[in-house]
Structure 1
Amino acid sequence: MSVIYVLLAISILVAVIFFIAFIVSVKSGQYDDSYTPSVRMLFEDELVKTPKTSAKEFTKKKIQLNKQV
């Protein structure tokens, strides 16, 4: 039974150490994103959804293109 208490204490100690390491790394800027702002201007355009054309409109456009050629 005393082994459980020892293992519990060790696991809590390890969890606290990892939590402190995480807080230190966040405060030091380890997780700051320095790459995305430099390429954000390349991906700023939003996708434009085109209206769906029906089968009749598609064949009309196809016939018009064939007449032009």
Structure 2
Amino acid sequence: MEQTLFVRDPSKLSFTLPANAQLIVGDALNPKGLYEAIKGHDIVYANLKRGLAKILALTSRTLTVMYRY
């Protein structure tokens, strides 16, 4: 199974990237960048570490991008 990790700051990763993983640096607040990261994926898991209001906004944007594409 292939994986794509979409991160804002790769220096905060506390593990070695698995051989089957691709790393994309971007901002989940940027819908176009988010679309490019999730395009062609069957499953998207979002782990957003921010305040509740921002998490809800990001979740809404993520779902909008997933729905459109």
TM band (smaller chain): under 0.3
Q: Which has the higher contact order (CA 8 A, sep 6+)?
A: 2
Larger radius of gyration: 1
Please report the TM-score for the alignment, with normalisation by the length of structure 2: 0.27
Greater share of residues in strand: 2
